[in-house]
Amino acid sequence: MSTFSQHTLDTAPAAARPLLESAQKKLGFIPNLYANLAEAPAALEAYFGLSAQLDKTSLSPTERQVVMLAASAENGCEFCVAAHSMIARNMVHVPSPVVDALRAQTSLPDARLNALAAFTRKIVIDRGWVKPTDLDAFLAAGYTRQQAIEVVLGVAMKTLSNYANHLMGTQTNSQFLSEAWVRTA
């Protein structure tokens, strides 16, 4: 059981309230990640800021979800895998076989997206110290050096949320339970 507060619009620190209100308006609910991150308004703002910057990259919405799901699964974040599975399937319309493979941490049926997922996993596993052959495989799949750095941005965003969720014991919202995921040991 977590000792961290899951804030509401009434209990959140003043600096976090506008961000929670924005999420409530946009999504119709406040994801528990946001409710917990509100304890540290600067962290909540950083997460929203990283998300906004990731949206400005040259990665497509599908590619961004691949990065977020691959990193979250590699980091064992049950909340983020469930949330991004829901987003990927229902909002971005990533094909189910791709989402299923990301959740299972297996090869994706699309070769280009598979290269992206593999590179993302290498960034996480090797803490950015990827081998030249890993970068070469990523580039050979049609990605660019710019996009390699954009993957690092996505991993940074997910590292913030994944590690915070681990620390805070964030529970998966009911809205994401149909995509519940349990990390393997």
In angstroms, the CA 123 to CA 121 distance is 5
Q: What is residue 136's predicted lDDT score, i.e. its pLDDT?
A: 98
Summary mean pLDDT of the chain? 96
pLDDT at 2 exceeding the cut of 90: no
Kindly state whether residue 22 falls inside one of the protein's structural domains.
no
94 with 88: CB under 8 angstroms? Answer: yes
Residue 26 forms part of a structural domain? no
112, 144 in Cβ contact below 8 A? no
Q: Give residue-wise pLDDT tens across range 84-137.
A: 999 999 999 999 999 999 999 999 999 999 999 999 999 999 999 999 999 999
Mean local confidence (pLDDT), 50-54: 98
Tell me whether residue 149 is in a domain.
Answer: yes
Q: What is the pLDDT of residue 1?
A: 56
Domain that holds residue 171: 60-179
Q: What is the 8-class DSSP label of residue 176?
A: G
Please give the pLDDT value at position 3. Answer: 79
How many structural domains does the chain have? 1
